[in-house]
Chains A and B, each alone.
Chain A
Amino acid sequence: MTIREAAADLRAGRVSCLELADQCLSQIARLNPKLNAFVTVTGEQARARALELDRELAAGRDRGPLHGIPIAHKDLIRTKGVRTMSGSKLFADFVPGSDAAVVKKLDAAGAVMLGKTGLHELAYGITSDNPHFGTIRNPRDAERSPGGSSGGSGVAVATGMAYMATGTDTGGSIRIPASFCGVVGLKPTYGVVDLSGIQPLGFSLDHAGPLTRTVADARVTFEAMAGAGRRRAAPVDVRNIRIGLPENFYFDRASGEVKDAVRLAAREAERLGARVTQVQVPDMDGLNAAGRVILLAEASALYEPYRARRGDFGSDVLALLDQGRLVPATDYVNAQRLRRTLVDDFRALFSEIDCLFTPATPITAPRIGQMQVELDGELVDTRIATTRLSRGINVLGFPSLAMPCGESSEGLPIGLQIVARPFEEDLLLSLGEALEAGLAR
């Protein structure tokens, strides 16, 4: 069931907030021992909150489309009185005294928090194979990765353990689990969702957004997360939207099935009245190099106070933190300068198109522990390959939607990425909603 359907059932009296929460809690009890999506379940608090919201509805107080909807928060988002570990030994006992801004906003909108979802350690990686809190598993195939870093959120939403879960995205950490788990993930424009109370990773690359089952649900939750400071999202007519399909980079090193599914999605958009043109994207390799250098330096600066606690980090995260300390300050500054010139290049591209269609990830979910993947006959590091198509968009700060657009011959989800100009989440969501119906056929 989607948020929209649950909201309709609630108002028709076919279900209560408590029943919705209980359904999700029983799904967690059934599936979490195998999939490990949640690190903390706050069942009693959730049931109490749901009862309170049932009383509100009965008394005529309706908070809107998220009233009584069970959700989960990625466990690097601060929740007052509920342990927030960031997937790390460093914060294993940290109980925040206040809620993050997004938690406050979703709570005010009437959402019911069921607990906290697991993640790649410190959100610094894409496998969600966490050395401290266990491996999170893909619900389509438990021997495969759900992606990350917001792996627990992707799994929770895909399996109906929650209607929506929050995620954060520094190089693809919302869009990659969305792609591997077959759900929708929205990385909004940089700065639109308030990050206060969220554990940072790369200060100038971090974003927060929703993972949901449908694009319509992503719209509802994004509006609540973005809050009153952002103009209200309004549907956009998809007819005559100009879609750019990249001729270079995005389809160079991707699996054949992924390429075919994304091209099919572009044809479906055309059928809806959009105009698809082939475009050359600017220097994506430069954008990715700038993104890697910026993230290496920013993450290592952040964790500098913990540098003596080497034994408290997993080996992959420690290696990245060590690499960041080998980056000269001059290269960090020049990466930021290059970033600005590349944003200008992309603005020029987006004067000719309204959005780009690309794969969200070049591959479907890899096996847990798989270090390399073969793409176009070449063995490539799985982490670098998986972030190759998403990282650059964080450097730009442009909004990006990942949504399912098909399945591989192995039955694994394939993700489409749509990228728009800054602050044009409306366009992404309207186009995504229109496409969703056609792609599901």
Chain B
Amino acid sequence: MGDVNPDIPREEIERLQPVVDAVLAELRQRTGRLTPQDVMSLTYDLDPRLPEVEADR
């Protein structure tokens, strides 16, 4: 891990890793049940009206 993030001091990684692991564990309890049909949305299209908002930019 220290090699992946060489600029983060090792003692910081040791302090923070349990915090990250706790939230990842909470997440993985749910994501383990996802199926191949549960895809990620790249456009985050809440509503077809969103392109109108885009056009206003």
A residues apposed to B, CB below 8 Å:
101, 189-192, 194, 196, 204, 227-231, 283, 285-286, 289-290, 292-293, 296, 307-308, 310, 319, 322-323, 325-328, 331, 333-341, 343, 397, 422-423
Contacts and interface: CB of A to CB of B under 8 A. Distances in A.
Contacts of B47: 189, 422-423
Contacts of B7: 307-308, 310
A326 B30 contact: no
Contacts of B41: 336, 339-340
19 contacts: A101-B57, A189-B47, A229-B57, A289-B26, A296-B20, A319-B16, A323-B16, A323-B20, A331-B31, A334-B27, A334-B34, A336-B41, A337-B39, A337-B40, A338-B31, A338-B34, A340-B40, A422-B47, A423-B46
Interface in B27-46: 27-31, 34, 38-41, 44, 46
Nearest to B56: A229
A289 B38 contact: no
Nearest to A342: B30
Interface of B: 1, 4-5, 7-8, 12-13, 16-17, 19-20, 23-24, 26-31, 34, 38-41, 44, 46-47, 49-50, 52-57
A293 B27 contact: yes
Say what secondary structure dominates the interface of chain B. helix
B38 A325 contact: no
A322 B8 contact: yes
Given A283-B30, A289-B27, A340-B40, A230 B52 contact: yes
A293 B57 CA distance: 29
A422 B23 contact: no
Contact of B23 (A192, A293, A307): A293
B44 A289 contact: no
Contact of B16 (A190, A310, A326): A326
Contact of A285 (B13, B19, B26, B49): B26
